Structures are given as C-alpha cells and as structure tokens.
Amino acid sequence: MNRQGLTLLWMLLFSWQVQGAHPALLLLEKYQPGMNVNGWLMSEKLDGVRAYWNGRQLLTRQGRVLAAPGWFTESLPSFELDGELWIGRGGFEETLSIVSRDQPHSGWRRITYSIFEVPNASGGLRTRLQKLEDYLQTHPVKHVRIIPQTVCRDEQQLMERLDTVVAAGGEGLVLRNPETPYETGRSSNALKVKRFDDMEGRVLGYRPGKGKYRGTVGSLWVETEDGRRFYIGSGLSDEERVEPPPIGSVITFKHQGFSSTGIPRFASFLRIREERSSPKTPYYSVNATARPATAVE
C-alpha cells in the first residue's frame, strides 16, 4: 500500500477508535432570541477542557483517559460527574497544556474540576446537583466545585448577565431547563448563549499555503460531527501554520451562519479543543492535494 493509502487507512482507524470510545454526554443547542427560558437555570459557560468522571477514570469528551494524578481522582465519588477542568477566564490554552500530557504532574494543582451535571442521577437538574452537594458536605474535595446556577427571570436579565460575563473575559452562558431528567446528545433543554456562532470539527488533513505562507499550512481540512467537510484558512497564527492542530484533533471555529449547501460561512479557527495523545503531525505528512466533496476557499 502506498503512503497515501496508509495515511487514509490510519485516519479511518483513528476515527473509528475515537467514535467507539465516546462517552454519551449532553450537548448544547444554540439559544435563539425570543425563546421562552423564564425560570430556567443559567450559569457561566467555562472555557475549559470538558471532563467526564465515570466513577473510575477521568475521560475527555472524545473518550481519552486523562493522566490525572492519583490525589486528583482518589477523593471523587463513585458516581458519575460531568464538568470542566478549568484554571480561569482566558486560561484555556494553559489548561489544555496541563491536562493533555501523558503523565501526571504538579501542574494539576492549578486545575479546578467545575461540575455542571451529575449524569444518570434521578430528578431534575437541581436534584442531580444536590447529590454532589451532599457528597461534598461529608467528603470535601478542595479542587471540586459546583458551577453556580441562577434562575433566569427574562431575556433582559439574560442579556445583561451575558454582557457582564463577556466583558470580564468569559465565553458566554449556558441555559438549562431545570425540570427535565438527564439526557444525552443534542437537547433543546440545554442552550449555549454567545455573541458569535461557533462549532467544533475534527482535523482530517491540511492544504499547503501559497505566497507568504508557502512552505507552511494554508488551511485545515475539517469535518463536523454531522459529516460536513470544508477548509478553514483564516484564524491561524503564523506559529500555528508551522505547527498546525494535529490530525485527529478537535478544534473550535467561529462562523457567520451557513451557505445554501449547509457549509459554515467565513469559518475562522479559534482554538484546539482536544488533541490526540500522539505527537503533532507535520503538514507535509498528509496528501494535501486531496479535496473533500465540498470545499470553501
């Protein structure tokens, strides 16, 4: 088999392994102005690394086991938790650098496990979070906290709270229907509220740069979870064009709506959400001339 065939086979195998390892989690829909969310619970959307505790191991959203130190996990409950590994506003890259290493290290001392859900517990959201609250009363864990939840009175209060969080360097808000039982997958009972549209996609490959970017990466070949494939060329720094997000990593990008064919318009790279554990792949290791079914220049 030639090099191109081996590369494509590796990508398919990696995709299959990752998909098979995904924990079933709640995913957010987008809030639309005018939605009736009065009485819902709102909280800050933390810009951290999502982590799922299955009662034994701490996993990323993609199912990779995080190399958390023993002291970090030994006091966690036997029941499931879902939350963000977080340092603080604006600290996403540093958080990712700490938690993505293959071996436990002292950097985890800076991490807080901020919980927004107790998966598969009974009752509404308040009842599920109370289960963790009761546990922490008798088993205090310094690095675990429950993300504060506030009742949303109306849209005006929601927008005022959003402006306050964004002005302070936060990412946005999350709205949850407090009455619904635990769900997984995309849910209209869980909404993200942000000032711009964003999505996530997996990096499948690269296209070489031209002109001033000759010899580096010109754009990323990305696939979203629903199978849409396209190139993202803007938003990459000069350093990221030399060492781009690794093949298989999950990135976040912003966009301005969708084209008539369903492709995100003016997509722009924001950040890596999750890397695979192997070293970064140089841009020239993939057949950059291969094109997806749909490409946006």
Q: How far is it, in rounded angstroms, from Cα 23 to Cα 64?
A: 10
Q: How far is it, in rounded angstroms, from Cα 7 to Cα 87?
A: 36
Please give the helix or strand (H or E) that residue 132 lies within, else none. helix 125-138
Q: What is the predicted pLDDT for the residue at 275? A: 59
Specify the higher pLDDT residue, 38 or 1: 38
At residue 255 the predicted structure's pLDDT band, cuts being 50, 70 and 90, is: confident
Residue 230 has pLDDT above 60, yes or no: yes
| CATH architecture group of domain 26-193 | 2-Layer Sandwich (3.30)
Domain with CATH 3.30.470.30 in the chain: 26-193
* 251 closest CA partner among 234, 260, 238, 261: 234
Q: What is the predicted pLDDT for the residue at 16? A: 34
Active-site annotation, residues = 45
At residue 15 the predicted structure's pLDDT band, cuts being 50, 70 and 90, is: very low
Give residue for tokens 């995309």. 186
Q: How far is it, in rounded angstroms, from Cα 253 to Cα 273?
A: 10
Give the tens place of pLDDT for each residue, 85-134. Answer: 999 998 888 999 999 999 999 999 999 999 999 999 999 999 999 999 99
Indicate the SS3 state at residue 6: helix
Superfamily of domain 197-285: Nucleic acid-binding proteins (2.40.50.140)
Give the tens place of pLDDT for each residue, 124-162. Answer: 999 999 999 999 999 999 999 999 999 999 999 999 999
Q: What is the predicted pLDDT for the residue at 261? A: 85
Percent of the chain with pLDDT over 90: 65
3 state SS for 168-231: CCCCCEEEECCCCCCCCEEEEEEEEECCCEEEEEEEEEEEECCHHHCCCEEEEEEEECCCCEEE
Query: What residues contact 103, with CB distance under 8 A and at least 6 apart?
Result: 67
Give the tens place of pLDDT for each residue, 16-56. Answer: 334 335 788 999 999 988 899 999 999 999 999 999 999 99
Residue 69 has pLDDT above 50, yes or no: yes
Q: What is the predicted pLDDT for the residue at 291? A: 40
Please give the helix or strand (H or E) that residue 50 lies within, else none. strand 49-53
Domain with CATH 2.40.50.140 in the chain: 197-285
CA distances from 256 to 61, 100, 195 (A): 25, 30, 11
Q: What is the predicted pLDDT for the residue at 292? A: 38
Q: How far is it, in rounded angstroms, from Cα 206 to Cα 231?
A: 8
